Amino acid sequence: MKLTISIVNFNTDRYLSHLLKSLEDIKDEGSFEVYVVDNASTDNSLVLAKEKFQWVNFIESKINLGFAKAHNLVLKKIYSEYVLILNPDTEITRDVLSYMINFMDKNPNVGAASCKVVLSDGSLDWAAHRGLPTPLASLLYFLGHDSLYHLSGKPMDKPHEVDGISGSFFLTRKSVLEKVGLFDEDYFMYAEDLDLSMRIKQAGFKIMYVPEVHIIHYKGVSSGLKKHSQKITTADIETRKRSLDAFYLTMKIFYKKHLEGSYPFFINWIVYLAINIKWFLAKREMVV
């Protein structure tokens, strides 16, 4: 197999089957296998998928392992040259996989790459086009300037280097993972993609954004936290609370691991205070 696709599912209703159908429709594009790790879903998403797509490899967890641990179950066993981390609430369009694999083949110095990721309303999913969330970048983003946080000043119509890409579409090499390690399991969900991106860059590889092809991302179906997906989310109130806590706890974990040592105490104190305040305020509306 040239490519292994790893998908982690948790209560995505019909979206998982919708994604697998889009992959089934493009099986002629190349040699790939698909793994779905189900994180103890309580809806019918896994049942429907297993019934319709018997060519897919399913791994059923009895507990919700989170994003990183669940994907690592697959990443530990792959033999393919490439691996694609893909969200269950996405839709793959024709030529995306073949184009992206061809791009990686031609650019051996690229450690990971994302195509253009478009939300269901047609807008760009900026999580697939990230800068480092440094204190300055975060402050400017809060003030309405996105040039550092999401690198909005980059030429968005042509391939270019970024600091981080999203786990909604994260294409990398088995050889790169063997060098830098798998997803950091300290993260339950959120930021594990940015953490892996940083380790890949630190190992001397490039992280690339390739906008010539795109996927659709129905973002927030499982977590229920995104404003644009409130009408389509499958999340109950307990799932939303757990996702919200993971969202802000992840910020602290990431900052402590990668940025805290580069700043004086008073800057770090302000950063953690800001996270706590945003966390407290977010609990009122349950939206991030």
In a domain, 238, yes or no: no
In a domain, 114, yes or no: yes
Q: Tell me, what's the pLDDT at 232?
A: 59
pLDDT > 70: what percent of the chain?
93
CB–CB of 88/15 below 8 Å?
yes
In a domain, 33, yes or no: yes
Q: For the chain, where are the alpha helices, taking DSSP H only? A: 15-24, 45-52, 67-75, 96-106, 135-142, 174-180, 192-202, 237-258, 265-285
Least confident of 122-126, 139-143, 163-167, 183-187: 139-143
Q: pLDDT (tens digit, 9 = 90+) per residue, 85-96? A: 999 999 999 999
In a domain, 127, yes or no: yes
CB–CB of 172/76 below 8 Å?
no
Here the CATH number for the domain that contains residue 140 is 3.90.550.10
Helix or strand holding residue 83 (H, E): strand 82-86
Q: How far apart are CA 85 and CA 283, in angstroms?
A: 30
Number of structural domains in the chain: 1
Q: pLDDT tier at 139 (50, 70, 90 boundaries)? A: confident
Q: Tell me, what's the pLDDT at 120?
A: 85
User: Is the per-residue pLDDT at 71 higher than 90?
Assistant: yes
In a domain, 247, yes or no: no
pLDDT > 90: what percent of the chain?
62
Least confident of 14-28, 30-44, 93-107, 220-234: 220-234
In a domain, 287, yes or no: no
| Mean pLDDT on 198-223 | 90
Q: Tell me, what's the pLDDT at 148?
A: 85
In a domain, 274, yes or no: no
Domain limits at 193?
Answer: 3-219
In a domain, 170, yes or no: yes
Q: pLDDT (tens digit, 9 = 90+) per residue, 239-268? A: 777 778 888 888 898 899 989 899 999 999
CA distances from 10 to 189, 195, 239 (A): 12, 22, 10
